[in-house]
C-alpha cells in the first residue's frame, strides 16, 4: 500500500482509467498542478522537463482535496459553482479508485470523502470581524507541534510570528490580522483539525512561512477567544 509515487498514480489514473481526453482527466491534470504549486509535497524538478510529484500516496491528505475545491478553484482559478461541483465528483471518483487500488487505507478514504463532500451545496461562507486592538502578550505561550503537511524546508520567502485575530475560517484555511490592524494575512493553509478548532474572532499566536501566494503554518501557540 502506498508504494507508488503520487506522480505515477495520478498518471496511471488519468491515462489508463479515464483516458487523457476525458473531462475528468483534464480535472486531474489541474489537481496535479495544484499539488505541485500549493501542496507542499516533494517534487523533482529538472530543467526543461515537467516537475514530478515524488512523495508517496500517504502524503496526499484530506485537506488537499478541500483546499483544491474550496480555495484553489474558487479563489485562484475563478471557477463557478457548477465547475466546482464537477471537480468535486471527479475527486470522489479518484478517492474511490485509490481505495480499490489499496493505495490508501479505509480510514484515509473516509477522511478524504468527508473533506471532499464538506463543501457540497455551495461555497463556504466567510465572516468578517473587527475589534479594538490590545497589547500583544506572548508571555507563557508554549510552542506546540509543528505543522508539516505543507512545510517544505528552505522554500519560504518570508516568515512572521505573533498574535493574530482570525477574520475568516474555512476548512483547512485561515485568515487573520494583527491586533493593531494592518493588511489581512492569508490564506494560511493548515490541517483540517486546526481550522475546525478555531472560529472567527479567536486570538491565536501563529508562526508562519510564506510560500508563493499563501502562508504555511509552522507553529501554533495559545488561543484566546
96-100, 163-167, 193-197: range with lowest mean pLDDT:
193-197
Q: Band of the pLDDT at 33, cuts 50, 70, 90?
A: very high
* Residue 146 reports pLDDT greater than 60: no
Q: Judge if the upstream peptide bond of residue 187 is cis by omega within 30 degrees of 0.
A: yes
Structural domain of residue 187, as residue ranges?
A: 125-225
Check if the beta carbon of residue 157 is closer than 8 Å to that of residue 211.
yes
Q: Hunting for cell 489541474 — which residue is that? A: 30
- Residue 46 scores a pLDDT above 60: yes
Same domain? For 46 and 28 the reply is yes
Q: Which of 64, 93, 117 is the last residue of a domain?
A: 117
Return the minimum-mean-pLDDT range out of 25-39, 158-172, 209-223: 209-223
* Domain shared by 175 and 194, yes or no: yes
Is the same domain home to 106 and 137? no
Q: Is residue 75 part of a domain?
A: yes
pLDDT for the residue 54: 87
Residue 168 domain-assigned (yes or no)? yes
Cell 508504494 -> residue? 3
The three grid cell numbers given for residue 65, joined into one nine-digit string: 482535496
What pLDDT was estimated at residue 153? 40
Indicate whether this model's pTM tops 0.85. Answer: no
CB-based burial label for 109 (10 Å; 0-12, 13-18, 19+):
middle
**Is residue 1 one of the residues assigned to a domain?**
no
Residues 181-201 have pLDDT tens digits of: 778 998 898 887 788 888 999
Amino acid at each position: 500500500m502506498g508504494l507508488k509515487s503520487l506522480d505515477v498514480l495520478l498518471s496511471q489514473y488519468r491515462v489508463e482509467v479515464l483516458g487523457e481526453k476525458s473531462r475528468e482527466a483534464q480535472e486531474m491534470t489541474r489537481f496535479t498542478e495544484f499539488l505541485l504549486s500549493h501542496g507542499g509535497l516533494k517534487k523533482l524538478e529538472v530543467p526543461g522537463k515537467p516537475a514530478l510529484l515524488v512523495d508517496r500516496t500517504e502524503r496526499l491528505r484530506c485537506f488537499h482535496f478541500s483546499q483544491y475545491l474550496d480555495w484553489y478553484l474558487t479563489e485562484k482559478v475563478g471557477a463557478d459553482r457548477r465547475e466546482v461541483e464537477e471537480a468535486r465528483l471527479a475527486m470522489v471518483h479518484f478517492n474511490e479508485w485509490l481505495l480499490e487500488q489499496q493505495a490508501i487505507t479505509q480510514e484515509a478514504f473516509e477522511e478524504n470523502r468527508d473533506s471532499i463532500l464538506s463543501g457540497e451545496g455551495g461555497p463556504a461562507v466567510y465572516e468578517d470581524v473587527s475589534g479594538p486592538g490590545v497589547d500583544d502578550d506572548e508571555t507563557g505561550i508554549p510552542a506546540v507541534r509543528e505543522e508539516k503537511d505543507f512545510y517544505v524546508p528552505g522554500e519560504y520567502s518570508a516568515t512572521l510570528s505573533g498574535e493574530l485575530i482570525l477574520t475568516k475560517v474555512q476548512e483547512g484555511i485561515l485568515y487573520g490580522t494583527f491586533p493593531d490592524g494592518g493588511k489581512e494575512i492569508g490564506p494560511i493553509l493548515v490541517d483540517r483539525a486546526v481550522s475546525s478548532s478555531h472560529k472567527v474572532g479567536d486570538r491565536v499566536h501563529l508562526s508562519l512561512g510564506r510560500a508563493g501566494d499563501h502562508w504555511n503554518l509552522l507553529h501554533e501557540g495559545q488561543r484566546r477567544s
